[in-house]
Structure formats: structure tokens, C-alpha cells
Structure 1
Amino acid sequence: MRILHLTDTHLFADPAARHYDRIDTAAALERVLERLADIAADRPVDLVLHTGDASEDASEDSYRRLHAMLDPVAAALGAELLVVMGNHDSSAAYATVAGPGDHGGPWQDRARMLANAWRAVVLDSSVPGAGYGRLDAAQLAWLREVLAEPAEHGTVLAIHHPPLTAATPLLRALDLQDRDALADAIVGTDVRLICSGHYHHPMTGALAGVPVHVAPGVTNVMDPLCGGGREQARALSGASVIDLSDTGDDADASAVPVITTAVWPNAGDVLGDGEVPVYDFSPQQVAAIIAASVPDGAV
């Protein structure tokens, strides 16, 4: 099983719009896809997975732009395409482009059996008006029902907000709530990998013994080690390719995924200067962003 893992493209409906008044996000994604054109040369790609914040303005047209860019790529690779909802996304707007999710409610949750006998499940952790993530009890009940019947080779689970503890104060305020509930839902199941975005930088960890991989952002890459209570991001773009071994007599079901991550200069950067941060938030600005992103003291 090979996965092309993309995340955090932050596309706009307006082609002239720029992220932080600087990044042409469509150009950034286009160049990343060009760089990855040969990833199926040595092994077929089975899944193109976008783990959220597909849009910046949560518009229907931004999702049409996303699919206009990703659908041909997935088709050329012979791969399934799945898109997860993030905190900048609108599940309702995306539903007008991609259709409803697989169960009741507003969520864009989907389970897909792939042609190679793997299963992919995406969970919508978006909370309208908030930056943090949350899973409803109905979503977790649906997940348990899906996972009650194992797939032949296993399941890859995707959720925008990583079920980890973030590296910085801002990201910790915007983490997934009730990670323990998700852990309870997957323990003892065939879930072999969890893929996430949201942090805009690569990170690895585990939930209930299952590896978790966070891919770097396409629109920028955040520096989790800048220190001093600041938050910084650079004009970079990244992606990951993940290889999982099949289960069976000649494969080890517990084998650790092989994850290859690359980061490149951002082709959508109008400044063209990777040394100038895309943003550089002071501790005071971080506190203000947290207050605006976490309404009513919800976290």
C-alpha cells in the first residue's frame, strides 16, 4: 500500500488571493504535484490522501479548484482520492462538491475499501467557528461499527487534528479534544496507521499503539522549535509518501510504516525569500489567536 499524503493547501476561490498576503496556495500545490509526478515509478500509489484545511475561505469554488487539481492526479495514478475536513474547512460547502458523508449528521466521514484490499477511513474533526478539533459520539459509534469488520490488510485512518500533544502552546490549544475516546474506538482493531495534518510540520507519535504521522503543510511549514513562546512559519511546501506492507503469510502485520517526507521552497511565495517568515507571532499575538480560535473557553 502506497499513500501520497498531502495536507493544508488552504486554497481560495479567488485565484488572486494570497495566504498571509504572500502565498499563492494554488501555485504551491501545483509545484508539489509536479515534484511528485514520478512517485509511482517503483511502486503503484493506491491512495491520494489530503488531511484537511483544503480551503482557506471555506468556499464551494475553492473545493472545485482542489478537485480540478487532484482528481486528474489520482486518476493518472489509478488511486482513490480522499479529502478530510480541517478547521478552516466547511463540511457543508464541501458536501455540495463531493456529496454527503457515509452516515447521518453534517460530517464528512467516509469509509472506502480500496482495490488492494486495504480500507481507508476519514473522520471530520472540524468544529464550526473553532480551531480545535472534536469528534461527536455519533461519529465514534459509526467508526466502531465500521472497524468491527476487519479489512483484509488493515485500515488507514485519517483525521485533520492529530491525536497527539502538539509541540507549541498555540497548537496545543487547537489540538483534538478527547483523544482517549478515539483511542478507545480503535484499540484492538485493524487500524495500522493514522494520518493527520493541522500542525504544518512533520511529526510522528502513536495512539493506542498505532503510529501517527503528521505531514508538513503545502502552503507553509511551521517551525515547532523556534522557541520563546513565538510561532513561526517559513515559505516552504512539503508532502509525505507512506509505504505499508500487506498482511499475510509473507508480511508482518505489525511492521512500522515506511514514511518519506520532503520539504521544498514554496513555489507560490511572491517574495521568493525563504529566510523571511511567512508569519512570526509574538507570545501576545499567540494568546490573542488562541482566544479567537477557542470560543467560550471550550478548551
Structure 2
Amino acid sequence: MKIVQISDCHLFADTEKVGYNHINPYQSLQKVLEDVCAYKPELLLVTGDLSGDGSIKSYQHFKTLFIESNLDCDLQVLPGNHDSLEYLLATFSKKSLWVNSPHLDCHDNWQIHSLNTQFKGALGKVSVNDLIALQKQLQANINKYHCIAVHHHPVDCNGWMDKHEWVNRQDFTQLVESFSNVKIVVYGHIHSDIETLQNGVLYLASPSTCWQWANTESFGVSDLKPGFRVIELNDNAQFSHVIKRIN
């Protein structure tokens, strides 16, 4: 199964508005989705922060761009710290939202799980109930391989974004690392491409579809282009992944 992960679109109600590095997030997402089409994914996985200003129009813009891209694939959306849960629920179909489809079966071998890490401000947290539900799913599907999607970073990035942390991330990492069939955790939030292998689990951060953060001690913006991650889930716990950036 081929999956494309995008994250941190930060769309504004005003489609002409630009942000960091003079990037227009509407136009950059439009270009990202155009490039994604070439990979013909079966699933577009959106790991939060669709909106940059919390407006209902920003979510409508995302939906419009997705439709206009003519991507022939399923859509799975989960929230980030900037997102309005109310507007996400109002804009997207039930089957496209984490709250209604938290566990997706992918052919015979894989499951994809989506968790809400939205908490206070830029901080993240996963509820005890969601962790229990995830544990039950992993136990009930011990013969499958698992990919888990979240917004906040579950491992340190060793940069300024670590102050916008996931406050109970150790509970999450301890859980997923106790299951040898959990292979991948994908996330956004840090606007940067970082890979961390920890106790058998590969943690993969996705670039933003707009501006990229510099992974430095104090706030900084990188000159890297907007991008996305392509993931292919194969048989026998095998998978591949690659970062692509727009021209």
C-alpha cells in the first residue's frame, strides 16, 4: 500500500496571504498536491495543522484543493495544535476523520492508527482512553504490522520546537515500543524531516507543505522547500519511505 503523508499546511482564510520566507501556504499546498498525484497513493494521511488562522474558510480551502487535485485516494485527517475540532468535523466526511476511523486496515498485513494529540496551546497530550484503545487494537491484531500517525513529536528533535512538547509522550513511546509489530510512527508539528530509530520503532517527521523550521536552539526558519513523505507498506514487515520536495 502506498501512502503519502502531508502535514502543517497552515492555510489562511485569505488565499493571497503569505507567511514565513514569503511562502503562500495555499499555493504551496496546491503545488504539493499536484506533485503527490504522480505517486498515485491509496491514502493521503494529513497529520494536523491544516489551518494557520483557525478559520472555517481555511478548512474549506483544503477540501477544495484536495478535490481539485483529482487525487484518487482515501483521505485520513487528524488534528494538530492549531486546528479547530469543530471545523474539522463540519468540513470533512466521517470516514476521513480520525475520530470515526482511528484504525484503518490496509490489505492483509498492516493497520494504520490515528491519534489526537491536541492539548493546551502548542503542547500535546494523548488521553488515557485513547492509549488504552490503541493498546487493545495492537493486542487484538498481533499478527499485523502497525503504523501510527500523530501530530506532536514523540521523540526529541533537539531544537527549539522541543519546548512545544507532547507532555505524556513517554506513556505513548513505552506502549508502542513494547509491541514488536509496531514498525513506524509518523508525525508533523516540527516542520522538519527527521528520522529516529528507537527500540525497534522508526519515528518519521514530515516536512510542512509550507514553511520549514530550522532545527536550532532558538527560533529559525529553514530555506528547504515545502514537501511530503511517500511511504510504501509491503509484506513481511517491510516498508520504504522517501521525502519529496516541490521545485
Quickly name the TM-score band, shorter chain normalised.
Answer: 0.7 to 0.9
Measured on the aligned residues, the alpha-carbon RMSD in Å equals: 2.7
Equivalent residues of 1:11, 1:57 under 8 A apart: yes
Match of 2:42 in 1: 46
| 1:98 equivalenced with 2:92 (yes/no) | yes
| 1:172 equivalenced with 2:166 (yes/no) | no
Change (3 A) 1:246 1:178: same
- 1: distance between equivalents of 2:106 and 2:95? 20
Question: Counterpart of 2:86 in 1: which secondary structure?
Answer: helix
Question: Counterpart of 1:37 in 2: which secondary structure?
Answer: helix
| Alpha-carbon distance, 1:140 to partner | 1.1
| Alpha-carbon distance, 1:201 to partner | 1.0
Equivalent residues of 1:109, 1:124 under 8 A apart: no
Match among 78, 81, 86 for residue 84 of structure 1: 78
Match among 116, 120, 125 for residue 117 of structure 2: 125
Q: Residue type of the partner of 1:264? A: I
| Alpha-carbon distance, 1:99 to partner | 5.9
Identity across matched positions, percent: 23
- 2: distance between equivalents of 1:108 and 1:13? 25
- 2: distance between equivalents of 1:55 and 1:224? 22
Match of 1:202 in 2: 193
- 2: distance between equivalents of 1:51 and 1:221? 15
Measured against aligned partners, the alpha-carbon deviations of 1:124-147 in whole angstroms (never above 9, x if no partner) come to 11124x112111112212222332
Q: Which runs of 4+ in 1 moved over 4 A?
A: 99-102
- 2: distance between equivalents of 1:132 and 1:88? 10
Change (3 A) 1:174 1:108: farther
| Alpha-carbon distance, 1:109 to partner | 6.9
Change (3 A) 1:235 1:23: farther
Measured against aligned partners, the alpha-carbon deviations of 1:210-265 in whole angstroms (never above 9, x if no partner) come to 1111111111122225x6x4522337211111122223xxxxx2x4x322112335
Tell me whether 49-58 or 199-208 shows the greater mean CA deviation. Answer: 199-208
Match of 1:284 in 2: none
Q: Residue type of the partner of 2:192? A: H
| Structure 2 segments unaligned to the other structure (5+ residues) | none
| Alpha-carbon distance, 1:72 to partner | 5.6
Match of 1:69 in 2: 65
| Alpha-carbon distance, 1:155 to partner | 2.3
| Structure 1 segments unaligned to the other structure (5+ residues) | 248-252, 266-299
TM-score, normalised by the number of residues in structure 2: 0.86
- 2: distance between equivalents of 1:219 and 1:52? 13
Equivalent residues of 1:197, 1:214 under 8 A apart: yes
- 2: distance between equivalents of 1:153 and 1:136? 24
Match among 54, 59, 62 for residue 58 of structure 1: 54
Match among 258, 271, 288 for residue 240 of structure 2: 258
Work out the number of aligned pairs and report it: 245
